[in-house]
Amino acid sequence: MDKSPAPFMILRKLDQVFLRPNDGTGEIPVRLAWARPIYDRGSDICILNEKKREVVMVSSLDALDSDSRRIAEEELNKRYLIPRIIRVNSAYAHLGNRYWHVETEIGPRTFLMKDPTRGVTWITQDHLILRDTLGNRYELASLAALDAFSRAEVLKVI
């Protein structure tokens, strides 16, 4: 099945990303965002102007030409860096706050979570996203895949 090319290109000039319509009407500075970054990352990319208004919605990265796709992937990966937790060294509650000391795929991290009802998003019964007080997110892809010590540390604070 042939896919029709997107009616625009995404390009980068220095540190800025632009959308260039194929009709030659000019380039506009844009940002890229997943429409559903937690639950359905991988489909529906929203391209926003400088005022954070939608310019175009793209159903998939596959709809883009290879150069546009590469730039889009780089931008989305920068915007949605969510380190995956591979080990929990300690997690404890003190005065209502949750303190986490973890190992991620990109190195050790320490963070604070105030309210687990707001800071924990359950994707499935085994997969969750943790949000710290600064808005940073951390992924626990599978509780079952963690070692027993890490799993026990998680379960005592969420």
Query: Does 1 fall in a domain?
Result: no
Q: Are residues 144 and 106 in the same domain?
A: yes
Domain limit, last residue, from 34, 61, 79: 79
Q: In what order do the strands lie in the sheet with 45-48?
A: 31-34, 45-48, 54-58
Q: Are residues 93 and 69 in the same domain?
A: no
3-state secondary structure the chain: CCCCCCCEEEEEECCEEEEEECCCCCCEECEEEECCCCCCCCCCEEEECCCCCEEEEECCHHHCCHHHHHHHHHHHHHHCCCCEEEEEEEEEEECCEEEEEEEECCEEEEEEECCHHHHEEECCCCCEEEECCCCCEEEECCCCCCCHHHHHHHHCCC
pLDDT tens for the chain, 158 residues: list them. 445 668 899 999 998 999 999 887 889 999 999 887 666 677 799 999 999 999 999 998 889 999 999 999 999 988 888 899 999 999 999 999 999 999 999 999 999 999 888 999 998 999 999 999 998 999 999 999 999 999 999 999 99
Q: Are residues 94 and 142 in the same domain?
A: yes
Domain limit, last residue, from 63, 79, 95: 79
Give the residue numbers spanning the domain of 128: 85-155
Q: Are residues 38 and 91 in the same domain?
A: no
If one counts the domains in the chain, the total is 2
Q: Are residues 102 and 142 in the same domain?
A: yes
Q: Are residues 41 and 90 in the same domain?
A: no
pLDDT of amino acid 2: 43
Residue 122 tokens, joined: 């359950």
Q: Are residues 107 and 143 in the same domain?
A: yes
Q: Are residues 71 and 107 in the same domain?
A: no
Query: Of 136, 126, 121, 133, which Cα lies nearest the Cα of 38?
Result: 121
Q: Are residues 62 and 104 in the same domain?
A: no
Domain limit, last residue, from 50, 79, 108: 79
pLDDT of amino acid 38: 65
